[in-house]
A = this chain, B = another copy of it.
Amino acid sequence: MDKSVGIVSAQCAWFDTPLTFRSGAVLPRYELVYETYGTLNAQGSNAILICHALSGNHHVAGYYAGDEKNLGWWDNMVGPGKPINTDKFFVVGLNNLGGCHGSTGPASIDPLTGQPYGASFPVITVQDWVESQARLADLLGIKKFAAVIGGSLGGMQALQWSLAYPERVAHVLAIASAPRLTAQNIAFNDVARNAILTDPDFHGGNYYQHGVVPTRGLRLARMLGHITYLSDDVMADKFGRALRTDQLNYGYEVEFQIESYLRYQGDKFAARFDANTYLLMTKALDYFDPAHDFGGDMNKAFSRAQADFLVISFTTDWRFSPQRSREIVQPLLHNRRNVSYAEIDSAHGHDSFLMDEPQYMDVMRAYLDNVAKECAR
């Protein structure tokens, strides 16, 4: 057990049926890039959908031939004998629409103009993503998912599955997530977006044609994001006030190790991620609110849900604190859903959902082993 799924390859699905977004915008056609691991059983009952968070993509597990170091972002969780056990489940990961890793997004060519979509790519919501994911499920012959699983923004997609397609998902696993953003969450997103929007290289979102990239803005957005992914404690333990050199330099170059770390993370991200996708992802976070159409009443919003739920939070996560997860649990209990809730003691803040926290892995494994037994029935 605990082997990797090994060599994987991405696939591409084309959709020619127009997709109407929640905003009213219409995408006439689009492609979704995805990977699958494991085998769909004869009944088609053992499929799991993995929804990614802000900067994730379809490469969830394994590696590509000749590039063994480029492991999927959740390789510790997904594989043979792992909590999301590919010996038992048929696992699907996709790059969300609007992304920058192969699925149609702002950097893709708009067939109507022959130019990249850029600013004209419509603002997308969690609802729109689930719609596109349902079409992918149709294409793969999956009538009902055994589970839809996601962390953070991925958890919101998993929740939305239970609302948009209650009959098509048996279990929803929402990890380090929230039913909707708080004002503080939105505020952080708005600062990140403004860093990108006001970067002179942004050119109103059409920077592709100018041969530049709003690196400065994207770098700042990521630096800020990183602060909110880590706990105060883990930053103190890992960096504290440690200096980069053995003396104070009294200048604006890196003085403290934490600055070095943040700038490195910012630079690395800005070199690989698309700024327009970053904007779309943060907007999807802001807009997600199942209660919006129910006068703010989350109990009413979740009355449609039929799935069973596992909700997991982490003690030091201050981006989506345990309180936010309890705000998911409460309306589910109100609607007499089966809900398991685990608050995991972890030092790693929001990032915990990507870590090998033993208690967390155990909870995932135990829950999904039971789901696997259901599928085999």
Contacts and interface: CB of A to CB of B under 8 A. Distances in A.
B220 A190 contact: no
B235 A184 contact: yes
B241 A186 contact: yes
Which residue, A193, A224, A238, has most C-beta atoms of chain B within 10 A?
A224
* A interface bracket (residues with beta carbon within 8 Å of B): 35 or more
B122 A187 contact: no
Nearest to A189: B259
Interface in A266-287: 266, 279, 283, 286-287
Interface stretch (A31-39, A73-81, A138-146, A250-258): A250-258
Interface in A179-233: 180-184, 186-188, 190-191, 193-195, 197-200, 216, 219-220, 223-224, 226-227, 230, 232
Interface string A99-116: 000000000000000000
A248 interface: yes
A169 interface: no
Given A123-B251, A232-B182, A251-B123, A191 B240 contact: no
Given A256-B286, A286-B256, A262 B187 contact: yes
B239 A183 contact: yes
A97 to B, nearest CB: 15
A355 interface: no
A238 to B, nearest CB: 7
Contacts of A266: 194
A245 interface: no
A156 B280 CA distance: 41
Contacts of A184: 227, 230, 232, 235-236
Contacts of A262: 187, 190-191
Contacts of A248: 23, 287
B241 A191 contact: no
Copies of the chain in the assembly: 2
B183 A235 contact: yes
B241 A180 contact: yes
Contacts of A300: none
A241 B194 contact: no
Contact of A259 (B186, B200, B236, B252): B186
A235 to B, nearest CB: 4
A252 B279 contact: yes
A22 B238 CA distance: 28
A351 interface: no
A317 interface: no
Nearest to A259: B190
A337 interface: no
A373 B49 CA distance: 72
A55 B23 CA distance: 41
Contacts of A255: 286
A262 B241 CA distance: 30
Given A183-B236, A248-B287, 12 more contacts: A22-B250, A23-B250, A184-B235, A186-B241, A187-B226, A187-B227, A187-B262, A191-B220, A191-B262, A194-B263, A199-B216, A252-B283
